[in-house]
Amino acid sequence: MSSERLIYLPLGGAGEIGMNAYVYGYGKPGKERLIVVDLGVAFPDMDTSPGVDLIIPDIAWLEQRRDQIEAIFITHAHEDHIGAVAHTYDRLRAPIYTRKFTANIAKRKMDEYGHPEDAVTTVAPWPQQTTVGPFTVGFLPMSHSIPESSSLVIDVAGDRLIHSGDFKIDMTPGVGEAYDPELWADVSKDGVKALICDSTNVFSQNAGRSEATVGPEIEKLLGTAQGMVVATTFASNVARVKTLADAGERAGRSVVLLGRAMKRMVEASLETGVMKDFPPVVSPEEARGIPRENLMLLVTGSQGERRAASAQLARGKYMGLEMKEGDMFLFSSKTIPGNERGVIKVINAFSEMGVDIVDDSSGLYHVSGHANRPDLETLHDVVKPQILIPMHGEHRHLREHAKIANAKGMKGVLAVNGMMIDLSGNEPKVVEYVDSGRTYLDGSTQIGAMDGVVRDRIRMALNGHVTVTVIMDENDEALGDPWVDAMGLPEQGRSKTSLVEVLEADLAQFLGRANAKTLRDDDKLHDGLKRTVRQSANDEIGKKPEVTIVVSRLS
Amino acid sequence: MSSERLIYLPLGGAGEIGMNAYVYGYGKPGKERLIVVDLGVAFPDMDTSPGVDLIIPDIAWLEQRRDQIEAIFITHAHEDHIGAVAHTYDRLRAPIYTRKFTANIAKRKMDEYGHPEDAVTTVAPWPQQTTVGPFTVGFLPMSHSIPESSSLVIDVAGDRLIHSGDFKIDMTPGVGEAYDPELWADVSKDGVKALICDSTNVFSQNAGRSEATVGPEIEKLLGTAQGMVVATTFASNVARVKTLADAGERAGRSVVLLGRAMKRMVEASLETGVMKDFPPVVSPEEARGIPRENLMLLVTGSQGERRAASAQLARGKYMGLEMKEGDMFLFSSKTIPGNERGVIKVINAFSEMGVDIVDDSSGLYHVSGHANRPDLETLHDVVKPQILIPMHGEHRHLREHAKIANAKGMKGVLAVNGMMIDLSGNEPKVVEYVDSGRTYLDGSTQIGAMDGVVRDRIRMALNGHVTVTVIMDENDEALGDPWVDAMGLPEQGRSKTSLVEVLEADLAQFLGRANAKTLRDDDKLHDGLKRTVRQSANDEIGKKPEVTIVVSRLS
């Protein structure tokens, strides 16, 4: 006899920072009605996912239960929360609910991939609520580094859950809504069963600073600048983009927006009214006619991304503009771990041009969008949940956050991707482990991270590749000598002669010595040829390449 | 009419952190007698150098002038200063001079690669000097994060140069020699023409702390530990290894050394007398019989290196030992930019085991081996050189350091790899640009970074690889259908059928339509087949793979 239960199941974002995807369900076990909170992407890297374009959560579990999904709710428009909506729409076909600015971004994505924009429903913030199946969901405005970021108030079967989304505690966030302690006290006053809470900055011990502290520092800095000033930040951090533009305008500089995302985000903010005004901007063409000491460029590429405006400027001209000795480049941003190499490359390229680089090492020109430890505690203390489930963090962040919760008398639950938690009873408990993982968007197709495709690419990158072609005649004898092509391998090794020729000679020798049984048997022949190549290459160059053997039989 | 000149030429380490190699020369232009200071390596990464084992400086310029080289002087035994001596010995065959501990490490390297150990000459520190050709060189003891690190006092043609090597200002460095202000004042008192100076930490604004401050903090930390404690640092930081071991011993813990380098460095330090004593260590086998709360493991792998002891412990058992809930793992080290991903992976794996991780975010358990800005200024002020040439830094570091020098009334010279500076006259000037660059040690061979080998590997990693085999008969007609093998590519794409079959069908169609001229002409046939594969793959999977075409003609 099974009664209804309330479940929480992270499919992405719990045990990693990126590709957020959280599932809530209510109903009889296996028959729960489901909602999904956020469907984001993570970004590939050469070490683990070369050639991959984007990483999305493995949604096989959801796809199998497509009929049980009531809706998808998107907390805010950062790629790690919204980036997968279009890439998963074909498989889920669930309606998407979000607020105006986020809906604007979501609709552009749907449109780009040929999906109906009306799958996206725009909802008003709290106190409006949306009821889907057993869930009633409200978007509670919260401060973060993008406009309209919201926490979700989820009422289900008499219980209230709060899913924090990404947030910081900021009373003066510039563009976007402030943290409102009274509103939070009000929604929490009748008791909150569980707070599912951002954990990104749990290791940062000092309270976060407000966005409002950044502007004055940037203005001071601009006062010292002699030449052109170029500043970068995440384009979606519209408050920061405006802070920078306002400072530029006040310093008598014409503002130029460079990079597609930069223009798109400013447009979307004005269109949806989340930003009321923005200084006049000039086009790159107009900028060329303005003295450089009167220019301020706001550019994409704070993470050193190869194709973004900052990296293009680091390589030379971009849109007819270029940096020169005496100019200043400001990172109004933090380097995300893993992106250091790209950022350092850009910095050194600018250094070679004689550009002065200002980064965030002083702490003055950037504030984080996530709550530091004291700010997390502020939220714990106003919500006072029975249960705290850390999310949006690597394992170490979740673990630390759960420890803090336990120390404060809440029930801290360490739930990573794939762990289904039953929140119905007095004690939260793990009831199931669901297959979760990563799906790669690779060119125009989706492949499983464990399919072996990327593993083969990594092997070719590490070991190089050799193709061996052999033609066998009607009598199962080699017709001519084996033919070798090599890619990604040194031209010669130990014997100071062509590697390809050494391999061909050794293969010819192998074929000359092989017995009739081996020559007739495709598997044996393949194995023998492959072994010969790897051994011979190892002797010559100290590497065992990946090998493709093609045996053509004329029989 | 050309008179003698004094030149400085960095071939590695100036414009990057890694593979240090600096050349000094004196004599008539083109006939200078040369000495080399340091011959180090840099480390590869997947982004730029997949499959490569080590990166060494391109020494073609030196090799062409082998007869002019008097000697190689090695300042200290860090890999980025000593790592290339054995890999370049065949090509340079110059005698190597260094101090006892460094010579011990150098000889092991020479021996490992079958070179004569007696190419390495052990010299005593200042006031002893070694004269080779026009140069008289003394090793001035200096504090750094490895024993016996030295600055070089180079007297040539009446001028004194000081090459700082890597250094910090530390009066109490534990193992290794202290910075001795009187000694430095003494060698500088008659005037120093140029100080060639470490720039690594030029952006660190606060004075560095002494190694001696680390021990007490580690002891406090050990006082709080309940289970086994595992600590990592660079094995070559023998002072730190001893600090950790001493703290462990005082806390009543048996010390275990894990990882080859850890044991080798402690051995070398004791053998050469740079370290007088070390707490007794127990073997991993013995450790298994000791309660875990009485154990302290000192392990390699502070940078998250996959094969080091820390990463192995993060994956499970290593030498029969494993970490458990309640144990502590201490990073007594800093993560070098670019290594973040590997380190974070190790941290999260430990977090999953329930291990408490202590890193350097508090600043208590590690001090840098390099001089911060105020410490650099301390050295400037005691040496008072006419010229300051920043080295050991990326472009941004060198530029900043040169600016500081100019602001203080020295002549700051920004010289990057390949830039030959004439120091003879009153004004240092660039007299030549020499080809410099990187050579890859790849398996057992050396290849040029620009050879295209690694570029092909990166392309295969990004795009996958396809082999096409076609057999043409005596009449230049295709015998059977073309055959496709794919590696690192999705099995199917848009048409939901085998990618290989789609490619084969499109290739067969291409061959069916090709005219006789194309079929007879190898180049045309290759081009057509390749274009067909790339177009067809792009339609199917949105990627254009690397392609190897093998056409076998039976004629």
Cα–Cα distance list, B461 to A52, A537, B48, B281, B484 (Å): 10, 20, 12, 45, 19
CB contact under 8 A, B542 and A443: yes
A543 touches chain B (CB under 8 A): yes
* Helix, strand or coil, per DSSP, at residue B385: strand
Chain A hits for B554, CB-CB cut-off 8 Å, are 471, 479
pLDDT band at B451 (very low <50, low <70, confident <90, very high): very high
Q: How far apart are the first and last CA of chain B?
A: 67
Chain B hits for A344, CB-CB cut-off 8 Å, are 337-338, 394
- Measured CA to CA, the distance from residue A230 to residue A227 in angstroms comes to 10
- Compare all CA atoms of chain B with the CA of A346 and give the residue at the minimum distance: B396
- Beta strands B159-163; B150-156: pairing state: antiparallel
- SS3 string, A34-100, reads EEEECCCCECCCCCCCCCCCEEEECCHHHHHCHHHEEEEECCCCCHHHHCCHHHHHHHHCCCEEECH
In this complex, which of B45, B46, B483 lies closest to A550 when CB atoms are compared?
B483
- Compare all CA atoms of chain A with the CA of B550 and give the residue at the minimum distance: A469
H helices present in A277-361, as ranges: 284-287, 309-315, 340-353
* Amino acid at the residue B273: G
Cα–Cα distance list, B221 to B37, B124, B176, B252 (Å): 40, 39, 25, 14
**Which one-letter DSSP state was computed for residue A201?**
B
**Which one-letter DSSP state was computed for residue B478?**
B
CB contact under 8 A, A465 and B461: no
Tell me how close the Cα of B356 comes to any Cα of chain A, in angstroms.
Answer: 9
Q: How far apart are the first and last CA of chain A?
A: 67
Burial of B163 (0-12, 13-18, 19+ CB in 10 A): buried
Which positions 481-540 of B are in contact with A (Cβ < 8 Å)?
483, 485, 487-494, 538
User: Phi and psi (nearest 5°) for B425?
Assistant: -80, -165
Tell me how close the Cα of A198 comes to any Cα of chain B, in angstroms.
Answer: 17
Chain B hits for A303, CB-CB cut-off 8 Å, are none
**Are A462 and B440 spatial neighbours (Cβ–Cβ below 8 Å)?**
no
CA atoms within 13 A on the CB side of A61: 25
User: Would the pLDDT of B249 be above 90?
Assistant: yes
- Beta strands A254-258; A295-299: pairing state: parallel
Q: In what order do the strands lie in the sheet with B54-57?
A: B54-57, B438-442, B445-448
Element of type H or E holding B241: helix B238-250
Given phi > 0 = left and psi -120 to 50 = alpha, else beta, which region is A229? beta
User: Would the pLDDT of B2 be above 70?
Assistant: no
Q: ipTM of this predicted complex?
A: 0.94
**Are B532 and B510 spatial neighbours (Cβ–Cβ below 8 Å)?**
yes
Burial of A406 (0-12, 13-18, 19+ CB in 10 A): middle
- Measured CA to CA, the distance from residue A444 to residue A442 in angstroms comes to 6
What pLDDT digit, counting tens, does each position of A380-439 carry? 999 999 999 999 999 999 999 999 999 999 999 999 999 999 999 889 999 999 999 999
pLDDT at A212: 96
Which residue numbers in chain A have pLDDT < 70?
1-2
B115-118 long-range contacts (CB < 8 A, ≥24 apart) are: B115/B86, B115/B89, B115/B90
DSSP bridge partners of B299: B232, B258
Tell me how close the Cα of A516 comes to any Cα of chain B, in angstroms.
Answer: 23
What mean pLDDT, rounded, does chain B reach?
96
Cα–Cα distance list, A77 to A39, A108, A289, B313 (Å): 10, 11, 36, 39
B336 touches chain A (CB under 8 A): no
> Per-residue b/e over A531-540, b at no fewer than 16 CB within 10 Å?
ebbbebbeeb
pLDDT at A1: 45
CB contact under 8 A, A550 and B50: no
Which positions 359-418 of B are in contact with A (Cβ < 8 Å)?
361, 394-396, 399
- Measured CA to CA, the distance from residue A459 to residue B453 in angstroms comes to 15
pLDDT at A2: 63
- Measured CA to CA, the distance from residue A197 to residue A13 in angstroms comes to 11
Best residue of B417, B467, B530, B539 to probe chain A, by most A CBs closer than 10 Å = B467
DSSP bridge partners of A484: A468
Task: Using alpha carbons, select from B254, B273, B337 the residue that is nearest to residue B303.
Answer: B337
**Are A483 and A469 spatial neighbours (Cβ–Cβ below 8 Å)?**
yes
**Which one-letter DSSP state was computed for residue A16?**
B
- Measured CA to CA, the distance from residue A486 to residue A152 in angstroms comes to 56
Residue with the two structure tokens 């991780």: B357
CB contact under 8 A, B443 and A483: no
- Measured CA to CA, the distance from residue A316 to residue A355 in angstroms comes to 13
Model-wide pTM > 0.90:
yes
Chain A hits for B461, CB-CB cut-off 8 Å, are 46, 50-51, 457-458, 460-461
* Amino acid at the residue A127: P
SS3 helix, strand, coil % of chain B, rounded to 5? 35, 25, 40
A113 touches chain B (CB under 8 A): no
Task: Using alpha carbons, select from A109, A105, A194 the residue that is nearest to residue A425.
Answer: A194
What pLDDT digit, counting tens, does each position of B289-306 carry? 999 999 999 999 999 999
CB contact under 8 A, B348 and A552: no
* B47-71 average pLDDT score: 97
pLDDT at B1: 45
Tell me how close the Cα of A396 comes to any Cα of chain B, in angstroms.
Answer: 5
**Are B165 and B142 spatial neighbours (Cβ–Cβ below 8 Å)?**
yes
- Measured CA to CA, the distance from residue B138 to residue B163 in angstroms comes to 10
DSSP bridge partners of A420: A432
Chain B hits for A457, CB-CB cut-off 8 Å, are 460-462, 464, 487-488
Residues 6+ away with beta carbon under 8 Å from B338:
A340, A341, A344, B45
Chain B hits for A415, CB-CB cut-off 8 Å, are none
What pLDDT digit, counting tens, does each position of B376-413 carry? 999 999 999 999 999 999 999 999 999 999 999 999 99
**Are B522 and B551 spatial neighbours (Cβ–Cβ below 8 Å)?**
yes
What pLDDT digit, counting tens, does each position of B92-145 carry? 999 999 999 999 999 999 999 999 999 999 999 999 999 999 999 999 999 999
Which positions 193-222 of A are in contact with B (Cβ < 8 Å)?
203
- Compare all CA atoms of chain B with the CA of A352 and give the residue at the minimum distance: B395
User: Would the pLDDT of B427 be above 90?
Assistant: yes
Give the CA-trace dihedral at A380, A384, A389, A394, to 10 degrees.
10
B548 touches chain A (CB under 8 A): yes
Task: Using alpha carbons, select from A444, A465, A441 the residue that is nearest to residue A454.
Answer: A441
CB contact under 8 A, B485 and A395: no
- Measured CA to CA, the distance from residue A466 to residue A468 in angstroms comes to 7
**Are A174 and A211 spatial neighbours (Cβ–Cβ below 8 Å)?**
yes
Neighbours of B261 (CB within 10 A): 16
Instruction: Give residue B172's Cα distance to chain centre.
Output: 27
User: Phi and psi (nearest 5°) for A101?
Assistant: -65, -45
Best residue of A200, A348, A447, A544 to probe chain B, by most B CBs closer than 10 Å = A348
* Amino acid at the residue B29: P
- In total, the C-beta contacts within 8 angstroms joining chain A to chain B are 209
Instruction: Give residue B365's Cα distance to chain centre.
Output: 24
pLDDT at B326: 95
- Residue B26, token pair as written in the block: 């004196």
**Are A199 and A191 spatial neighbours (Cβ–Cβ below 8 Å)?**
no
Which positions 48-87 of A are in contact with B (Cβ < 8 Å)?
50-51
Task: Using alpha carbons, select from A141, A130, A74, A142 the residue that is nearest to residue A105.
Answer: A74
Best residue of B336, B352, B457 to probe chain A, by most A CBs closer than 10 Å = B457
CB contact under 8 A, A488 and B51: yes
**Which one-letter DSSP state was computed for residue A408?**
T
B471 touches chain A (CB under 8 A): yes
Residues 6+ away with beta carbon under 8 Å from A15:
A393, A394, A395, A398, A416, A417, B348
**Are B480 and B494 spatial neighbours (Cβ–Cβ below 8 Å)?**
no
Task: Tell me how long chain B is.
Answer: 555
